[in-house]
């Protein structure tokens, strides 16, 4: 059959450009881009080091338009969210944002994301990957409507210690009163922009959500207000360092979504991801995976999520974890980086239970290339209690005046 007139497969379609693409392209000198949910987005625009330090020392702008976004509304919106997610959604007030996960029937995590309660019966669910089929399956019997608004909302992650100062200069009066995980709508250029005090860097920061047709004006306003504050556009490589330094998980990197794992046992539960605080078994309603999670709570998880302080300066990318040098393999590293602000060689990973208690020592086998030759070294690693980097300014309200 001729393919003429048939819908193109995703791999035959050209990459889409976000409303911020032209602004980013003007600043790009590296020409290193990748695909994210059908959009082309930068790995780095100028220099990874400069972009990283913009996150920690001034202000950084990262395009998060490709995120999956779903608007869920109706009389049963709360009941639906409580059925879908593991946390107790009755505790999420209007004007607040919550982080959560959702699971399959075996209690394995499908994805994680943020939930914005924009009104009494309306939510915005944001995730890294598309979740339309999951929503369709769970919507049966609920009086709700849901729409994929991924392409209808342009979004920026604005992170760093000077972000509040710059936003005030743009004219967002009262932005300094937003607490962590608050959200509020502000007037801007004849429309509105929703601003949430959220982010993926473990630092002071905000996310800005706006109509695509007004996206360029918002970008220009941030850079004009921040021209004396060294505001920089950044790519995904700098963000990757910051999120590892903050000890934050990434789907597809630290865990395989349950809907895409091929081999049994390769998906992970919230308990195995160190997210047991998100599982509310006693919230009074049945939610996806609850029965399996009750069994796991009683029996104990298979793995433990660990944050490792690795000796030396050779990053432990894709390393195996051992109970001692040359000993038993007990786990693996999923993400690793040199953390410039924490000044640590850090790694995220998973070990078999009962290994990996806080304060314990494990070993990692590191391979690194130098002048086209592969080298191997053993390094001790200490299991840390909490993030490697967790500044007070992240939660301070109002943020410190600059």
Query: What is the spatial distance between Cα 271 and Cα 296, in angstroms, rounded to a whole number?
Result: 8
| 185 appears as a binding residue in the annotation | no
Tens digit of each residue's pLDDT (9 = 90 or more) over 167-198 = 999 999 999 999 999 999 999 999 999 999 99
Find, among 79, 72, 76, 73, the residue nearest to 283 by Cα.
79
Residue 95 lies inside a defined structural domain of this protein: no
Query: What is the spatial distance between Cα 298 and Cα 87, in angstroms, rounded to a whole number?
Result: 19
Least confident of 4-8, 35-39, 54-58, 87-91: 4-8
Q: What is the pTM of this model?
A: 0.93
Q: Tell me, rounded to whole angstroms, the distance of Cα 38 from its chain centroid.
A: 18
Whether residue 173 is found in the same domain as residue 320? no
Residue 85 lies inside a defined structural domain of this protein: no
**Number of structural domains, the chain?**
2
Whether residue 58 is found in the same domain as residue 206? yes
**Residue 4 pLDDT greater than 50, yes or no:** no
Given this model, what pLDDT does residue 5 score? 44
Whether residue 168 is found in the same domain as residue 55? yes
Whether residue 194 is found in the same domain as residue 59? yes
pLDDT band at 11 (very low <50, low <70, confident <90, very high): low
Report the CATH number at residue 355. Answer: 2.40.30.110
Q: Which of 215, 234, 253 is the last residue of a domain?
A: 234
In contact, 393 and 401? CB cutoff 8 Å:
no
In contact, 272 and 305? CB cutoff 8 Å:
yes
Q: What angle do CA 242, 245, 248 make, to 5 degrees?
A: 85
Find, among 165, 138, 22, the residue nearest to 80 by Cα.
138
Residue 113 lies inside a defined structural domain of this protein: no
In contact, 348 and 244? CB cutoff 8 Å:
yes
Whether residue 179 is found in the same domain as residue 312? no
**How far, CA to CA in Å, does 194 sit from each of 86, 123, 124, 187, 312?**
26, 13, 12, 9, 43
Whether residue 222 is found in the same domain as residue 329? no
Residue 311 lies inside a defined structural domain of this protein: yes
Residue 340 lies inside a defined structural domain of this protein: yes
Given this model, what pLDDT does residue 10 score? 52
Q: Looking at residues 3-23, what average pLDDT do you find?
A: 72
Given this model, what pLDDT does residue 310 score? 98
Could you list the residue range(s) of the whole structural domain that residue 45 is in?
10-65+153-234
Given this model, what pLDDT does residue 39 score? 96
**Residue 7 pLDDT greater than 80, yes or no:** no
Whether residue 181 is found in the same domain as residue 318? no
In contact, 130 and 194? CB cutoff 8 Å:
no
Whether residue 203 is found in the same domain as residue 335? no
Whether residue 200 is found in the same domain as residue 322? no
Report the CATH number at residue 57. Answer: 3.30.1360.120
Find, among 62, 69, 41, the residue nearest to 130 by Cα.
69
**Residue 401 pLDDT greater than 80, yes or no:** no
**How far, CA to CA in Å, does 135 sit from each of 102, 115, 238, 268?**
11, 14, 32, 20
Query: How many Cα atoms sit within 13 Å of 22 on the Cβ side?
Result: 6
Whether residue 205 is found in the same domain as residue 313? no
**How far, CA to CA in Å, does 227 sit from each of 22, 53, 60, 208?**
19, 16, 12, 19
SS (H, E, C) the chain: CCCCCCCCCHHHCCCECCCCHHHHHHHCCCCEEEEECCEEEEEECCCHHHHHHHHHHCCEEEECCCCEEEEEECCCHHHHHHHHECCCHHHCCCCEEEEEEEECCCCCEEEEEEEEEEECCEEEEEECCCCHHHHHHHCCCCCCEEEECCCCCEEEEEECCCHHHHHHHHCCCCHHHCCCCEEEEEEECCEEEEEECCCCCCCCEEEEEECHHHHHHHHHHHHHHCCCCCCEECCHHHHHHHHHHCCCCCECCCECCCCCCCCCCCCCCCCCCCCHHHCCCCCCCCCCCHHHHHHHHHHCCCEEEEEEEECCCCCCCCCEEECCCCCCEEEEEEEEEEECCCCEEEEEEEEECCCCCCCCEEEEEEEEEECCEEEEEEEEEEECCCCCCCCHHHCCCCCCCC
**How far, CA to CA in Å, does 343 sit from each of 19, 187, 306, 310, 312?**
36, 40, 18, 11, 11
Q: Looking at residues 68-74, what average pLDDT do you find?
A: 97
Q: Which of 234, 266, 289 is the last residue of a domain?
A: 234
Tens digit of each residue's pLDDT (9 = 90 or more) over 307-352 = 999 999 999 999 999 999 989 999 999 999 999 999 999 999 999 9
Q: Going by C-beta distance under 8 Å and a sequence separation of 6 or more, which residues neighbour residue 357?
A: 383
Tens digit of each residue's pLDDT (9 = 90 or more) over 379-395 = 999 999 999 999 999 99
Whether residue 61 is found in the same domain as residue 172? yes
Given this model, what pLDDT does residue 71 score? 97
Least confident of 98-102, 242-246, 321-325, 367-371: 367-371
Q: Which of 190, 206, 234 is the last residue of a domain?
A: 234
Residue 400 lies inside a defined structural domain of this protein: no
**Residue 277 pLDDT greater than 80, yes or no:** yes
Given this model, what pLDDT does residue 3 score? 39
Whether residue 60 is found in the same domain as residue 157? yes
């Amino acid at each position: 059959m001729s393919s003429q007139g048939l819908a193109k497969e995703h791999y035959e379609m050209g990459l889409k450009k976000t409303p911020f693409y032209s602004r980013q392209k003007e600043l790009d000198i590296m020409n290193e881009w990748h695909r994210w949910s059908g959009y082309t987005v930068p790995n780095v625009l100028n220099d990874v080091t400069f972009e990283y330090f913009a996150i920690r020392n001034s202000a950084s702008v990262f395009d998060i338009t490709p995120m999956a976004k779903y608007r869920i509304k109706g009389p049963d919106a709360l009941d639906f969210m409580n059925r879908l997610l593991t946390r107790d959604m009755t505790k999420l007030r209007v004007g607040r944002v919550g982080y959560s996960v959702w699971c399959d029937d075996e209690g394995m995590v499908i994805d994680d994301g943020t939930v914005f309660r924009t009104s009494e019966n309306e939510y915005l669910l944001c995730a890294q990957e598309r979740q339309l089929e999951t929503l369709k399956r769970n919507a049966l019997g609920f009086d709700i409507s849901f729409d994929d608004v991924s392409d209808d909302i342009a979004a920026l992650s604005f992170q760093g210690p000077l972000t509040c100062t710059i936003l005030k200069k743009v004219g967002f009066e009262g932005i300094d009163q937003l607490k962590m995980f608050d959200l509020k709508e502000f007037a801007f250029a004849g429309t509105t922009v929703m601003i949430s005090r959220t982010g993926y860097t473990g630092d002071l920061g905000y996310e800005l959500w706006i109509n695509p047709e007004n996206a360029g004006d918002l970008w220009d306003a941030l850079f004009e207000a921040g021209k004396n504050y060294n505001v920089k556009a950044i790519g995904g490589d700098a963000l990757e360092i910051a999120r590892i330094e903050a000890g934050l998980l990434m789907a597809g990197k630290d865990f395989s979504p349950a809907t895409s794992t091929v081999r049994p046992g390769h998906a992970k539960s919230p308990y195995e991801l160190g997210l047991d605080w998100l599982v509310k078994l006693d919230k009074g309603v049945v939610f996806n995976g609850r029965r399996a999670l009750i069994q796991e709570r009683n029996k104990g998880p298979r793995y433990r999520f660990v944050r490792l302080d690795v000796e030396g300066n050779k990053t432990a990318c894709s390393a195996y974890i051992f109970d001692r040098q040359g000993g038993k393999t007990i786990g693996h590293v999923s993400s690793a980086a040199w953390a410039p602000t924490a000044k640590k060689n850090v790694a995220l990973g998973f070990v078999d239970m009962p290994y990996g208690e806080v304060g314990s020592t494990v070993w990692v086998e590191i391979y690194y290339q130098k002048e086209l030759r592969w080298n191997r070294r053993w390094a001790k690693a200490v299991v840390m209690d909490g993030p490697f980097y967790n500044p007070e300014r992240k939660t301070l309200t109002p943020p410190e005046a600059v």
